[in-house]
Structure 1
Amino acid sequence: MSDLQKLIVLIGPTAVGKTDLSIYLAKLFNGEIISGDSMQIYKEMDIGTAKISIEEMKGVPHHLIDIKEPEDSFSVAEFQQLVRSKIAEIHKRNAIPMIVGGTGLYIQSVIYDYQFSDDVGNDEFRKMLEMRAKTEGNMALYNEFMAIDPISAEKIHPNNIRRVIRALEIFHCTGKTASDYHQMQKPHLLYNVALVGLTMEREKLYNRINRRVDIMMEKGLMEEVKKLYDANLRDVQSIQAIGYKELYAYFDGEITLDEAVERLKQNSRNYAKRQLTWFRNKMDVTWFDMTEASERSKKIKEISNFIAGKLQVKIE
């Protein structure tokens, strides 16, 4: 393992406290942070994605934040390529790259030798599906997707029509579903990884999530989303993000503001639960329980020592 490039990965559910700890660890290990969040790549989406501010960065270099316009699409394969390139670039500066985030599949795609089906395609078939989506509606295609690959379909919103069409296109060209591709993968670590996971007693985590949503609303989340809504940004990947789709439903007059906020809290709690399940089932994580605030200093020392030992580096 020693000949592989060193990499710190800090994961955990939303609102568990990754941001503050990541800055501390980056300063400790001469690190540069790469965002492992699939939504912080988008410009103009700061509050809802809990994007770190310049002040909070405290001089630590951050990468893969604000690199896409809200109307742009972004794939796991593109993330994989960009992050691996950043890891190599950071090593050239004799610093240690550190991926911080909560999008499990994105992080997994980087650290393991996963292949993607980006080279498979049929323009004619894709255009036919796009036309069908306009005439028959998104649900018609989503139901076909659900019929051939219910496991993958559960993870994709019916309105994320770009991904639904892509899944159908791959199946049309190869006879294989996204789930089939996933089963074919042989997880093989490409880096010398210190994989740290933060966890927390569920009730406390859920209270933190609820409070975070309240703070987001106080900071102007509604205005942030309204700006995108007024720009007529619809049926794009970014707007499927939690915090945006709920307020869109409010602006569309489907639900009240109180219902939108409650739905946002519920969806955030459900997402945190899914994140933890994914990390525990798919990745070899060393977990640290951050429930007790009084134990925080002790836990941070344990995490620091774990990383130093795993990567065979000195604490600066």
Structure 2
Amino acid sequence: MKLSLSASQQIRPSLHIPSTSSQLLRHGQPKEKVVVVLGVTGAGKSRLSIDLATRFSAEIINSDKMQVYQGLEIATNKITDEERRGVPHHLLGVADPESDFSTAEFRAMASISLRSILRRRNLPIIVGGSNSFVEALVDANFRSRYDCCFLWVDAAMPVLASFVSDRVDRMVERGMIEEVRAFFRSNADYSRGIRRAIGVPELDEYFRVESECDEETRARALAEAIDAVKVNTSRLACRQLEKIHRLRNIRDWQMLHLDATEVFRKRGGEAEAVWNSVVAGTAEAVVSRFLYDSEPVVYGGVMSMRSGARPLLEATAS
């Protein structure tokens, strides 16, 4: 497998984490801190991770199974250079698209990236929709070495489904069809590598028939393929949500629940204001407490951090 460990090279202010944590390693030193951002596709995980990274001098480790591969930037909805706002990203577009990037490989490479981030005295933020990758990492003796703050960006499914549908239309406008066409092979194996990404199998039938049918039939085949992409993306979101509930309710992961539903219902400046107050503002307050006043408190299954100020949980749902 061809892999690249390159990340944006830039000078960033170091993160000072006081050694006051009650969670200590055997030799008496405090555990180092890691933030994990969970959520279904389209909920706003990447946006929140960038907001936090610019606030706390952090670097981001991608945990999305498809975004780890090189190529298909539009179809896999990779964050753009502009959207990254100078924040270094790891494990984003590093794997050979023809190979299978395994859970074990993710765990090994994420651990390397995490240690390098901490050596630079920056905060690691793990973000992505592949909860099985995150679970495998965290369950591999991870919490014996690190304190984790789990943030769950959520939104009502009917509202999110409408957003996802519109997002697919925007991806098509940006050139997703031609991008996927470059990966089309008549004998392709859609069970391996990047061809498992939503959008690739769905467009396969269209590519097979487009040169053999009239314009009306071709347009209908394309519309059906795009509809299939929307349906399968919504189904993916449902599966991701089920996994998050399992991690929370069965594996007992304590998460801060950030409900972004109103962000999707608003437009323009109103949406921005809701995001900043309900989602980003609450998350920043909790991460600040996690880093500098780090005693966890749970309210009805929702995690916050203890401090002299009252808990900022009015914007969360239990």
- Whether TM exceeds 0.5 here: the answer is yes
CA–CA distance in 2 between the matches of 1:82 and 1:205?
32
C-alpha distance 241-217 of structure 1, shift in aligned 2 (>3 A):
same
Q: How well do the aligned residues superpose, as a CA RMSD in angstroms? A: 2.1
CA–CA distance in 1 between the matches of 2:186 and 2:70?
14
Deviations along 1:84-130, one digit per CA (max 9) or x if unpaired, are 1111110000001101111000011112227xxxxxxxxxxxxxxxx
CA–CA distance in 1 between the matches of 2:67 and 2:161?
22
Q: How does 1:32-51 map to 2 (within 5 A)?
A: 32-51=59-78
Q: How many Å apart are 1:233 and its aligned residue?
A: 4.4
Which one of 122, 128, 135 corresponds to residue 108 of structure 1?
135
Deviations along 1:232-257, one digit per CA (max 9) or x if unpaired, are 64342321111111112322349811
C-alpha distance 309-266 of structure 1, shift in aligned 2 (>3 A):
same
**Aligned AA (1:40):** Q
CA–CA distance in 1 between the matches of 2:139 and 2:113?
16
CA–CA distance in 1 between the matches of 2:222 and 2:287?
44
> Residue 35 of structure 1 contacts residue 99 of structure 1 at CA under 8 Å; is this kept in 2?
yes
CA–CA distance in 2 between the matches of 1:109 and 1:62?
20
Which one of 92, 95, 113 corresponds to residue 65 of structure 1?
92
Q: How many Å apart are 1:76 and its aligned residue?
A: 0.4
Which one of 260, 273, 277 corresponds to residue 225 of structure 2?
260
Deviations along 1:25-81, one digit per CA (max 9) or x if unpaired, are 001111001111011111121001100111111110001011112101110010001
Which one of 242, 246, 256 corresponds to residue 277 of structure 1?
242
Q: Which runs of 5+ in 2 are unaligned?
A: 1-22, 25-29, 211-219, 264-269, 295-318
Deviations along 1:279-310, one digit per CA (max 9) or x if unpaired, are 11124222110111253222221111111222
**Aligned AA (2:111):** R
1:214 and 2:169 aligned: yes
C-alpha distance 231-213 of structure 1, shift in aligned 2 (>3 A):
same
Q: Which runs of 5+ in 1 are unaligned?
A: 115-186
Deviations along 1:164-196, one digit per CA (max 9) or x if unpaired, are xxxxxxxxxxxxxxxxxxxxxxx9664211100
Q: How does 1:50-199 map to 2 (within 5 A)?
A: 50-113=77-140, 190-199=145-154
CA–CA distance in 2 between the matches of 1:309 and 1:16?
24
The number of equivalent residue pairs is: 242
1:286 and 2:256 aligned: yes
CA–CA distance in 1 between the matches of 2:46 and 2:101?
23
The alignment partner of 2:124 has SS state of strand
Match for residue 304 of structure 1?
A: 284
Which one of 32, 37, 54 corresponds to residue 10 of structure 1?
37
The alignment partner of 2:82 has SS state of helix
C-alpha distance 231-32 of structure 1, shift in aligned 2 (>3 A):
farther
The alignment partner of 2:183 has SS state of helix
Match for residue 7 of structure 2?
A: none
TM-score by length of 2: 0.72
Q: How many Å apart are 1:223 and its aligned residue?
A: 0.5
The alignment partner of 1:46 has SS state of coil
Q: Which has the higher helix share?
A: 1
> Residue 71 of structure 1 contacts residue 238 of structure 1 at CA under 8 Å; is this kept in 2?
yes
Q: Which has the higher strand share?
A: 2
TM-score by length of 1: 0.72
The alignment partner of 2:182 has SS state of helix
